[in-house]
Amino acid sequence: MGIDGQVPYLGISPDDALANMDAPIDTEGLAKIAATCRNGWNIIAGRRHVATEQKTLRRFSTWEITKYLIPVAPAHFRRVLRQNPQLPQGLTETDGGAKWFTLDEVLRLRTHFAAEGSRLRDYLPYRPPGLPAKMVTVANFKGGVGKTTTAAHLAMSAALDGYKVLVVDLDSQGSMTSIFGGQIEDKWKTVFPLIARHYGDHLRRDNQSRLDRGEAPLPLDDTVAQAIEMTTQDIVQHTHWPNIDLIGSQLDLYWSEFQLPIWRTQTRAWRLWDALSDRLEVDGVLQEYDLVVLDTPPSLGNLTINALTAADILLVPTGASFLELEATGRFFDMLHTTFASIEEAENAAAQALGHAGLSFEWDAVRAVVTRFDSGQQAEIAALMQTSLGTVLSPHRQDFTPLIGQADEQAACIYETDYRDFNREAYARGRSTFDATYAGFKRLLLGAWRRDELAAEETVSNQS
């Protein structure tokens, strides 16, 4: 309430309001605001010791390794280390204190246990030989639902599980890139050159057809000519995680949403939606990695459509509210409209030429409730579960104080040292993401197993 109990928005004097107004802001004023934001970030980063150059990953204790990473008893783990002095022995900070290991050392230890340990335990994660990586896209056109947080924790969960992961940031805000410490100078270190190269390859083939028909070819501009010489490996960055690589993002990527429709207009036969997945496949990325995690912007633009087309598994984070349910419904409705229209247009042309039609398909689609407050949202979450059925993951991703503190530091639970809190608080904080990953891993393994059985059946039928 205002003065003397008056409602604060009543009785405002226009002259007083004008007296408190700053001068109008022009485009240069926006640059000044951006500069003040950067200065503020640098001050906060300095006070909180946030890494502005190169992030490093903390070490993991024997307790964490035997509880979360390698399924062995602590006593057996220590005994194996004593018996094999050539294995990583870890570091201790005090005499007789706990041993701490880098993740790279953990991965080496996991390989040793897989080779020498019990055949009844799964020391290495399941990945059928000969089959490509699976791609998971985390998407929703509504902001603030935890897309990047969910995608980052999935990538880190899979890395801790032993998978080799490629993270692809398609959001020009670059939050995922910041989490993984990426340094992106311009659009040439984003996915832009991959999509431009796909267009360039198509344009070359199209121009050859034009020449064969006696028509003039379309020009190959300098941007496309430069992109044609690039591969995925040219833009991939290593991160502070030994088994997570990154294709990062920054503001320049946003302009691709204006450029891509121009190219599409020049040659309508270019299958823009296939550009990213096609380039990743051609460049051998799907054999080099086990999992590709794509984080998308809060919009249904061309970059998001590329990510959705590439996806084997689609995860849609959503909050637990009537408005969130309505927004998620609209998102799926837009997905249907978008992909149905692409199929209709492509299949009409294919039918005229006697070619096979186009049909989009995903191994699995799941909505995931994020930032869940069981005290306030249990009823609506139950109603959402009834409405969506198996499409909604039964696990709800709780929002805990530990998650909030990690978010403030542009980090994730798995990068947090539990000694900054205590084991119990750490275990509670990470349990919500462990459960999210467990649900995702069931989809991942099920999809791979289905592909594996189909491949075996194909071989059997051919023999």
CB 331 within 8 A of CB 316: yes
Residue 331: count of CB within 10 angstroms of its CB: 18
Percent pLDDT > 70 in the chain is 91
**What is the Cα–Cα distance from 398 to 384, expressed in whole angstroms?**
16
Phi, psi of 372 (to 5 degrees): -85, 135
Under DSSP, the state recorded for 125 is: -
Residue 149: count of CB within 10 angstroms of its CB: 25
pLDDT for position 48: 47
Full-model pTM: 0.88
pLDDT tens for 37-80 read: 767 756 655 554 444 457 899 999 999 999 999 999 999 999 99
**What is the Cα–Cα distance from 316 to 369, expressed in whole angstroms?**
9
What 3-state DSSP class applies to 171? coil
In SS3 terms, 201-235 reads as HHHHHHHHHHHHCCCCCCCCCHHHHHHHCCCHHHH
- 216 in the Ramachandran plot: left (φ > 0), alpha (ψ -120 to 50) or beta? beta
Tokens representing 321?
Answer: 């509210």
**What is the Cα–Cα distance from 365 to 300, expressed in whole angstroms?**
17
Give me the residue label for tokens 């609506």: 380
Residue 287: count of CB within 10 angstroms of its CB: 12
In this prediction, the residues of the chain whose per-residue pLDDT falls under 50 are 48-52, 406, 408
Phi, psi of 303 (to 5 degrees): -65, -45
- Give the burial class of 153: count Cβ atoms within 10 A of its Cβ; 0-12 exposed, 13-18 middle, 19 or more buried: buried
**What is the Cα–Cα distance from 155 to 171, expressed in whole angstroms?**
16
pLDDT for position 191: 97
Distances (CA, A) of 454 to 125, 131, 292, 450: 20, 11, 22, 6
Distances (CA, A) of 202 to 34, 168, 191, 423: 39, 23, 17, 55
